[in-house]
Amino acid sequence: MLKQGFTFIEMIVVLSIIVLIVPTVFVILFSITNVTTKTYRLAVTKREGDYLLNVITNNIRNRAITIHSAVPADVTNFICNDTSKPVPYNSTSLYFKDRDGNTFGYLLNENKFASYSSYLSTGPTPTGTPTPAPTNPPIDLTSSSLIVQNFSIGCESSAAYSYPTVLIAFDICYKTSSGDCYAVRSEESSILHYTTRVRLRNSY
């Protein structure tokens, strides 16, 4: 007569194996999820950071004629055009004029990187930051899932008859569950630092 079913010992052995395997499987799946999350956040952060740097660099290099410390851009805030004043100018906002007399610039708008255009502004505030028109605020260049911080932009003119150089630096990160750049869990942290120098191609 054939034996039917499992014996008690066989069931104990099977359950023991399951108890040993299941936690290992969960650990592996959790590690894969963490790595995937980290990779995704770094990829998004790098993509938007590269985009910001390319937009700023190309616009300044190809469009900027003069550099200004405030708006409206005029001769009273014209900077980095005099080699007799070698001290570099450094700030959190900088503005440029193109050949058509239009002003453009870059600034932080509530931890988002934004572009400013004279077409979209009603004029300067007492601090020199452009006041956005009610229907046309500065255009955010980063998504809501990212934070830009430690932004600085400045310029210098080091030699006579040479075009001024603009210096740009910023950190960009993926926003964590706490709403900032700092995470308890390492897979949530993704901060990249960018820095570059751009020499104007067209200048007075």
CA dihedral 157, 149, 121, 164 (to 10 degrees): 10
Q: Are residues 56 and 130 in contact, defined by beta-carbon separation less than 8 angstroms?
A: no
Neighbours of 130 (CB within 10 A): 25
- Give 135-179 pLDDT, tens digit per residue: 346 788 888 899 998 998 888 877 666 788 899 999 999 988 788
The predicted pLDDT at position 88 comes to: 65
> Tens digit of pLDDT for each residue in 25-78?
777 777 777 778 888 889 999 999 999 999 999 999 999 988 888 888 888 888
Give the per-residue SS3 of 107-167: EECCCCEEEEEHHHEEEECCCCCEEEECCECCEECCCCCEEEEEEEEEEECCCCCCCCEEE
Beta strands in the chain (DSSP E): 66-68, 78-79, 89-91, 94-97, 103-108, 113-117, 121-124, 130-132, 139-140, 146-156, 165-174, 191-199
d(CA 38, CA 143): 18
With pLDDT > 70 as the criterion, what percentage of the chain qualifies? 80
- For the cut 60, the answer to whether the pLDDT of residue 133 exceeds it is no
Q: Whole-angstrom Cα distance, residue 204 to residue 200?
A: 10
